[in-house]
Chains A and B, each alone.
Chain A
């Protein structure tokens, strides 16, 4: 059935467009049709044929279905760029939606829904209304999806025209395909609206479970996915649902199977009978195993999901580890995932066989896979105490093969094994030392040096070994330098002889004087001071017993796991991230610029810089996806409880594992901020900041400018105790700052966290840290204005009563000599903007007296009386409040406000 359409691509003569125009207007049908095909061909290869719009649309009224489809296709592509001309097509659309042929009726609504032009959408409503009630199920199923399309363009229209109700009626349609599409449309609308639109009741549930038996495989997936949101009332209902879903496990379509698994797992949470649960686990195992016979891409999705499933229900596949053994021809991405699951399923019972496999993999060609296999052996050693010895002997065998990267990877994992089982396997150190010369990767080097330092007393020539590294100290990467420093100190403390003493001099000198790395320098100074003041204390600190590690890599947090299991088969389960971490809704405004861009692809090459930008963001995104870490979603507008921000001082000891991850920054704009840390002080980093109040919430509006030569990342912030207990309400989200770039962020703040005792003052001390520089300290002033809450307005009577009820000792008065009030209105506006609300005004001789009220958090009222002569400098300010010690702060802030 092969065609010869490629000939339509071949016209590249000059004057092509006018020629096409003639042909489109030809009176011969064949010529016309060929011309439209040529236009579509040109469109396909990215040529701009939008200028032929009218001519193409004129071909729309035809009996020829093929031609009609092509014209429709053209419309979908170019209507956006010619919205006014697109109206020309409306009549034909409306006519076609009433055509006797259901194919044409469906085609018309389907196409109209794809044309994202407001003017067209208006005309879509009536045809859509009709088609939703069409006699032909083919038209109804197309119309059902069209409602979702319309909702995407204009949600209000859908709700106003009552399409949602019609769509809900379609759930009871007698045709399974219509039901399935209606469910898909409703589920999407539900997700995008956030309001409860599509609630699954037990009736809908039962209807949909019946439809499940009759609809196409794709429809079954829509229904199962929608139903997995359903929460059964009790264990009995859950069991009933499961009973009706389990037959789907026998479906040939893997997506149906996975969605059924998802639903069963959801309901299983409610089922209390252990027999039933055990039985279900038994039932799910074979279908899960069979997924591994599917196409490799499907296997990949299945494996990522199985990884989640075995974390929640380890018994399901406990006896099936063999099916995860890698085949020679498996694509590398499948092998990697299989390895991960093998580690999860490894047990004392099967470890021998598993180790044999890992050993086999460690001789493969793909370096990344080999490394992962070696690391897997180490992870099994850490996980299974009784197998640790066997794991180590396999590692030693691998080291003997002397393949460079295998040796290095083995040393890295052996370091972890030492930390897991201290004082158990040190006899192998001698073997490790043989490979010392071949190490060239920082992590392996650092690991080896750590081992030497940690066990310096058992290695006869530890000093010689370390000395061999010292020569190249200045050239080593930071990671190795840090380990060398620590290892030398350990050596010195363990063997305080002459040799080590000299070494330590060299190292400390190198690490303090000759380095620009603040982490290294800080650590060296601390050691230095420790050693010079109290060597015994130094011993206690440096040689302290370390906590035993465990293998929790790739173990997900239980609540995240719950969420991911509810998302089985979806991207979320593939990424091991909650949907909000990667779902991006973009409204269609971007379309326009893209159209323009699309037009000139043929001629211009991609600009290099753009390509690079995409590339870098691509790798960053992929790697963060692979890292499978949970990123807390920022919640800038709601006062979140303060997260545990690590103690910055603690970080000097090198416990840099408490980095709060950086997410999408909350961007802020606004007037320039006062500079608090000038670039000259901050080694090129300049920080400007100011407290600000927005929408009832306090933020620290911060601007970071990187004038240093290196990129800065890993920013963290901490606030010292202060009068109002202001503290960060979330992590500081500053992206990596390239040299010469800047970022402005809004850090949500919370109150009453760590209140400093004593009289309130406005001092706010701030510490900011990043991965590259030392900690920076600077101070800021707390303006009382940002604390005034939005509910500070008082009734007049209330004001008077409060004023009377407070003793006179609570009244504080201050003259603000330099403030001039030029206009009462302007002054009141300005005060109102800071939540100081006008109560009353009184004239006394030539003086204006203003009464205002405000409230600081925890409901403390502040009653204000301002006395001024218009246009003359000097304002008398009196306040009365239960907390008169706030007064100085108040005057300071108000003076600043009225002056500014």
Chain B
């Protein structure tokens, strides 16, 4: 089942080749371009096309980012998951280098693009995609290239994500090293037209930003029930069960499997240390009810109630409720008891924004639209979009996860301070209630 890509393409929005690397000489750029432009043309919306397509002996896999397509071509039975993920990583690396990946930035930096591709993939095999380390030896500034460059140790090290010899100077309060740890939980919820919650889960991420010198050994302690029970501690009400945990490659997985210890040498800068998922039933933090009344054929009235269903001491901020309205609605007349609402005809939606929404409160919105009196007779009733909600609730997590400690040990013996923040936000929060 060995297999690798034969070529890597960067294509413009019309599917024309911007830059390509041929690894095996067995696919033709002309053919790939011809095939892909046809595909885009035919589909209109290439988003709707399977990302893995077979044509004339060649498999093409592609992703889109802004106005650029990234595509591999292969004649072998290669690892599809790995190659597609690799394309996403290529996007990350380019974004790190050029701030944004788009046709213009590729053209402006084609020399570096070639250099990066050469380092990231060899003979169709993904090699190295740590942007931070790559930028240590592939630079956009031509002058620095005069100095002889060597591959950083990290490229081939077991610790491939961190270079040695990182130094942070002491700042005015005498601290040399800090770590910021954000615990971010996204609540995904799907409520059906009967008001039943048919799916809900919480996806959490521990986002770290490290400014640490040297090669720090870190150990993270969570209120993980399995760990606490293994240590024989009482876990009354405080411990949590995490369904599926995914770790950044810096975390020693075998160690975690053994004794649930999360130990690692972190990369420098920001990264997601871990993500986890909880599939317990969650009470919708923000509940929205809508009533729609159609008055004859000319007018539609929408009445919406939004309720915050969390403790009063927490407050949701930047609440945004997107309410679908008929595509042919005009002349909005909107009143709200809190916040402001705007009609966004480009999305066929009414967007209600509430800056601050304390727990246990209820707000109302009432909107009226005119409808054309004549409609196409055979018009198929298009699917109504769900109500979608966005919000953030700082200092709060649904799961109750707590960072019990973050120990940082470095041989130079410096003191490092971890700063922990908690926040909950709406993920895919859909209520099919309208």
Contact of A322 among B63, B151, B199, B245 (CB under 8 A): B199
In the assembled complex, the Cα of A251 lies from the Cα of B244 at a distance in Å of: 10
Chain B residues with CB under 8 Å of A301's CB are: 52, 80-81, 84
A225 near B1 with CB under 8 A, answer yes
The reply to whether the CB of A425 lies closer than 8 angstroms to some CB of chain B is no
B272 near A252 with CB under 8 A, answer yes
B59 near A103 with CB under 8 A, answer no
The reply to whether the CB of B380 lies closer than 8 angstroms to some CB of chain A is yes
The reply to whether the CB of A622 lies closer than 8 angstroms to some CB of chain B is yes
Known: A222-B125, A290-B277. A621 touches B54 (CB 8 A): yes
Contact of A622 among B53, B61, B148 (CB under 8 A): B53
Known: A4-B108, A606-B34, A621-B55. A360 touches B432 (CB 8 A): yes
Chain A residues with CB under 8 Å of B110's CB are: 5, 8, 40-41, 44
A250 near B247 with CB under 8 A, answer yes
B31 near A323 with CB under 8 A, answer no
Chain B residues with CB under 8 Å of A22's CB are: none
A327 vs chain B, min Cβ distance (A): 6
Interface residues of A in 595-628 (CB under 8 A from B): 597-598, 601, 606, 610-611, 614-615, 617-618, 621-622, 625
The reply to whether the CB of A753 lies closer than 8 angstroms to some CB of chain B is no
A250 near B246 with CB under 8 A, answer yes
The interface on chain A, measured as residues whose beta carbon lies within 8 A of the other chain's beta carbons, has a size of: 143
The reply to whether the CB of A110 lies closer than 8 angstroms to some CB of chain B is yes
Interface residues of A in 88-102 (CB under 8 A from B): 101-102
The reply to whether the CB of A735 lies closer than 8 angstroms to some CB of chain B is no
Most B C-beta atoms less than 10 A away, residue of A191, A575, A583: A583
A325 near B84 with CB under 8 A, answer no
Known: A37-B111, A582-B54. A221 touches B28 (CB 8 A): no
The reply to whether the CB of B164 lies closer than 8 angstroms to some CB of chain A is no
Nearest CB in chain B to that of A593: its residue: B28
A181 vs chain B, min Cβ distance (A): 7
The reply to whether the CB of B374 lies closer than 8 angstroms to some CB of chain A is no
A253 near B140 with CB under 8 A, answer no
Chain B residues with CB under 8 Å of A598's CB are: 28-30
Contact of B85 among A191, A214, A255 (CB under 8 A): A255
A333 near B79 with CB under 8 A, answer no
Chain B residues with CB under 8 Å of A222's CB are: 125
A45 vs chain B, min Cβ distance (A): 9
In the assembled complex, the Cα of A322 lies from the Cα of B201 at a distance in Å of: 11
In the assembled complex, the Cα of A190 lies from the Cα of B3 at a distance in Å of: 11
B59 near A588 with CB under 8 A, answer no
A175 near B140 with CB under 8 A, answer no
The reply to whether the CB of B210 lies closer than 8 angstroms to some CB of chain A is no
Chain A residues with CB under 8 Å of B24's CB are: 152, 588
The interface on chain B, measured as residues whose beta carbon lies within 8 A of the other chain's beta carbons, has a size of: 125
In the assembled complex, the Cα of A822 lies from the Cα of B375 at a distance in Å of: 94
A617 near B63 with CB under 8 A, answer no
Known: A286-B277, A570-B79. A69 touches B114 (CB 8 A): yes
In the assembled complex, the Cα of A61 lies from the Cα of B15 at a distance in Å of: 37
A614 vs chain B, min Cβ distance (A): 6
The reply to whether the CB of A790 lies closer than 8 angstroms to some CB of chain B is no
Contact of B277 among A63, A152, A289 (CB under 8 A): A289
In the assembled complex, the Cα of A364 lies from the Cα of B381 at a distance in Å of: 9
B54 near A66 with CB under 8 A, answer no
Q: Interface with B: A141-149, A484-492, A851-859, which one? A: A141-149
The reply to whether the CB of B310 lies closer than 8 angstroms to some CB of chain A is no
B35 near A618 with CB under 8 A, answer yes
A325 near B2 with CB under 8 A, answer no
B428 near A110 with CB under 8 A, answer no
In the assembled complex, the Cα of A365 lies from the Cα of B111 at a distance in Å of: 44
B31 vs chain A, min Cβ distance (A): 7
Known: A66-B111, A363-B381, A617-B56. A247 touches B256 (CB 8 A): yes
Q: Interface with A: B153-161, B211-219, B282-290, B355-363, which one? A: B153-161
The reply to whether the CB of A569 lies closer than 8 angstroms to some CB of chain B is yes
Interface string of A213-252 (1 = CB under 8 A from B): 1111110011001101100000000000000101110111
Chain A residues with CB under 8 Å of B337's CB are: none
Q: Interface with A: B43-51, B172-180, B393-401, which one? A: B43-51
The reply to whether the CB of A113 lies closer than 8 angstroms to some CB of chain B is yes
Dominant secondary structure at the A interface: helix
Nearest CB in chain A to that of B99: its residue: A2
A567 near B245 with CB under 8 A, answer no
A103 near B126 with CB under 8 A, answer no
Contact of B122 among A65, A110, A366 (CB under 8 A): A110
A103 near B137 with CB under 8 A, answer yes
Chain A residues with CB under 8 Å of B78's CB are: 570-571
B428 vs chain A, min Cβ distance (A): 6
Known: A222-B125, A618-B35, A618-B56. A569 touches B81 (CB 8 A): yes
Contact of B104 among A6, A40, A258 (CB under 8 A): A6
A253 vs chain B, min Cβ distance (A): 7
Contact of B118 among A1, A69, A136, A254 (CB under 8 A): A69
Nearest CB in chain A to that of B247: its residue: A250
Interface string of B63-86 (1 = CB under 8 A from A): 100000000001111111110111
B198 near A614 with CB under 8 A, answer no
The reply to whether the CB of A585 lies closer than 8 angstroms to some CB of chain B is yes
B75 near A583 with CB under 8 A, answer yes
The reply to whether the CB of B8 lies closer than 8 angstroms to some CB of chain A is no
A188 vs chain B, min Cβ distance (A): 4
Nearest CB in chain B to that of A252: its residue: B246
B322 vs chain A, min Cβ distance (A): 11
Q: Interface with A: B225-233, B295-303, B382-390, which one? A: B382-390
The reply to whether the CB of A566 lies closer than 8 angstroms to some CB of chain B is yes
Chain A residues with CB under 8 Å of B245's CB are: 250
Chain A residues with CB under 8 Å of B382's CB are: 363, 365
A177 near B3 with CB under 8 A, answer no
Contact of A2 among B47, B85, B98 (CB under 8 A): B98
Known: A110-B122, A177-B155. A255 touches B75 (CB 8 A): no
Known: A229-B1, A250-B256, A286-B244. A64 touches B54 (CB 8 A): no
Known: A254-B85, A290-B246. A247 touches B1 (CB 8 A): no
Interface residues of B in 129-184 (CB under 8 A from A): 129, 135, 137, 139-142, 145-146, 148-151, 155-158, 160
Known: A66-B111, A217-B249, A569-B81. A585 touches B127 (CB 8 A): no
Contact of B253 among A247, A567, A585, A597 (CB under 8 A): A247
B326 vs chain A, min Cβ distance (A): 14
The reply to whether the CB of A591 lies closer than 8 angstroms to some CB of chain B is yes
Chain A residues with CB under 8 Å of B198's CB are: 322, 325, 353, 356-357
A622 near B48 with CB under 8 A, answer no
Nearest CB in chain B to that of A73: its residue: B114
Interface string of A556-574 (1 = CB under 8 A from B): 0000000000110111111
A253 near B85 with CB under 8 A, answer yes
The reply to whether the CB of B238 lies closer than 8 angstroms to some CB of chain A is no
A611 near B34 with CB under 8 A, answer yes
Provide 15 A-B residue pairs closer than 8 Å at the C-beta atoms, listed in order of the A residue: A2-B140, A3-B140, A40-B114, A41-B110, A148-B123, A225-B1, A247-B257, A252-B249, A323-B279, A574-B80, A591-B25, A611-B34, A611-B38, A614-B38, A617-B56
Of all A-B residue pairs in the complex, the 10 with the closest CB atoms, nearest first, are A286-B244, A187-B2, A255-B82, A584-B57, A247-B253, A579-B77, A137-B156, A214-B158, A297-B51, A218-B126
A residues with a Cβ closer than 8 A to B are 1-6, 8-9, 33, 37, 40-41, 44, 46, 63-66, 69-70, 73, 76-77, 80, 101-103, 106, 110, 113-114, 116, 136-138, 141-142, 145-146, 148-149, 152, 175-178, 181, 184, 187-188, 190-191, 213-218, 221-222, 225-226, 228-229, 244, 246-248, 250-255, 257-259, 286-287, 289-290, 293-298, 300-302, 322-323, 325, 327-329, 331-333, 353, 356-357, 360, 363-366, 401, 403-404, 566-567, 569-575, 579, 582-588, 590-591, 594, 597-598, 601, 606, 610-611, 614-615, 617-618, 621-622, 625
| A-B contact sample (5 more), CB < 8 A, given A103-B137, A590-B26 | A3-B109, A76-B22, A106-B151, A184-B2, A286-B244
